[in-house]
Copies of this chain bind each other. A is one copy, B any other.
């Protein structure tokens, strides 16, 4: 017997009770049942995003869908100019969206594995007064790198610019404070920290962002945030929502409230710390210069064939991890710390990684990574005494 364990940075493992809850007999969405649920869910989403004043919209689509909605609704053609900070595949995607819709933008490309800096944003805005919108990824999934959004938000607030944050692999697992930091729009998807199947996406929209959105019409219909705002007033969606996923969402969000968001952030941090410690103890490098806690990118030693390693982790151990994307293909493996994953799962994937590295002839002392990870978990246990 081999259990399937997903360590991919989305989709992630989903709790069994949530899966079964979504198998309840179908309900229609124009019912009191659904409206009450959407009201409750929208309120709980505020907790996830850490906002009191913004609206949390639930879209049917992937994170890219919510990203497009956020960008297209706020960067008005001929009126606004965006600075897109790109330090990985997902940063690149938001620039592609600006391009596809003919939106005025500057794309600032950083080395993969580095986060964007507030100083750069400041300088670029000083150099180009037309920039009134900044698009930034909080946790870049492709490089497992975190950016200091709080610092960047200080810059955008000073200049009254709009800050759009991709928090797809951050909201719900990394410290993220929409109101306190001064973010204007943030968006995420269901298949990450919210540990649901893919299919829902969320946009958190501040009053300041709504004012910008209301300044002009956007080339959007399915992704028109105004239509979502209008429907939300009566706890409705403009188009048929993926309502079984909303059922699961409600269950997950209630669980998050009970566990406490800060505890979840801590747990995620501990699993990431343990994984990084294990990698170092095994003599493997961490790819990112500012590693995110939601996913870890580990350098694959030169004598190890990455596709074989990943394939065998699946075939021999039932473990699905992620490889590198684009330029990082074959160079890194990525192990997620989001969703329905715990310390024991994390130790299990470290153990399997040790076994497979050894199997491929890489010199490594079995148990060395595990011991380093355990030490991190022990420290975390001790801290709760």
- Is A118 engaged at the interface, CB distance under 8 Å to the other chain? no
Across-interface contacts of A224 in B (CB, < 8 A):
100
Q: List 11 A-B contacts (CB under 8 A).
A: A6-B27, A11-B243, A13-B26, A19-B26, A60-B65, A100-B217, A100-B219, A197-B242, A197-B244, A198-B241, A242-B245
Across-interface contacts of A29 in B (CB, < 8 A):
11, 198
Known: A19-B23, A26-B197. 18 other contacts (CB 8 A): A4-B27, A6-B26, A12-B26, A19-B22, A19-B25, A23-B23, A27-B320, A29-B198, A30-B322, A60-B60, A60-B199, A61-B61, A62-B222, A63-B240, A68-B221, A100-B217, A198-B243, A199-B244
- Supposing A26-B197, A101-B221 touch, asked if A64 and B6 sit within 8 A by C-beta, the answer is no
- Is A151 engaged at the interface, CB distance under 8 Å to the other chain? no
Task: Flag if B97 contacts A240 (CB, 8 Å).
Answer: no
Interface residues as binary, A19-37 with B (CB distance below 8 Å gives 1, 0 otherwise): 1101111111111000000
Task: Flag if B320 contacts A62 (CB, 8 Å).
Answer: no
Across-interface contacts of A22 in B (CB, < 8 A):
19, 22-23
Task: Flag if A61 contacts B60 (CB, 8 Å).
Answer: yes
- Is A260 engaged at the interface, CB distance under 8 Å to the other chain? no
Across-interface contacts of A189 in B (CB, < 8 A):
240
Which among B97, B197, B221 is the interface contact of A64 at CB below 8 angstroms? B221
The number of residues on chain A lying at the interface, defined by a beta carbon within 8 Å of a beta carbon of chain B, is: 55
- Is A208 engaged at the interface, CB distance under 8 Å to the other chain? no
Across-interface contacts of A222 in B (CB, < 8 A):
61-62, 64-65, 68, 223
Across-interface contacts of A25 in B (CB, < 8 A):
4, 13-14, 16, 19
Interface residues as binary, A176-218 with B (CB distance below 8 Å gives 1, 0 otherwise): 0000000000000101000001110000000000000000010
CB closest chain-B residue, reference A18: B23
- Is A96 engaged at the interface, CB distance under 8 Å to the other chain? yes
Which among B6, B13, B19, B240 is the interface contact of A10 at CB below 8 angstroms? B240
- Supposing A6-B26, A62-B239 touch, asked if A219 and B219 sit within 8 A by C-beta, the answer is yes
Task: Flag if B240 contacts A191 (CB, 8 Å).
Answer: yes
- Supposing A26-B14, A28-B320, A240-B191 touch, asked if A100 and B221 sit within 8 A by C-beta, the answer is yes
**Interchain nearest-CB distance for A98 vs B (Å):** 9
Across-interface contacts of A14 in B (CB, < 8 A):
25-26
**Interchain nearest-CB distance for A368 vs B (Å):** 28
Across-interface contacts of A322 in B (CB, < 8 A):
28, 30
- Is A8 engaged at the interface, CB distance under 8 Å to the other chain? yes
- Is A220 engaged at the interface, CB distance under 8 Å to the other chain? yes
- Supposing A65-B222, A221-B101 touch, asked if A242 and B26 sit within 8 A by C-beta, the answer is no
- Is A301 engaged at the interface, CB distance under 8 Å to the other chain? no
Task: Flag if B11 contacts A240 (CB, 8 Å).
Answer: yes
Which among B26, B63, B65, B217 is the interface contact of A61 at CB below 8 angstroms? B65
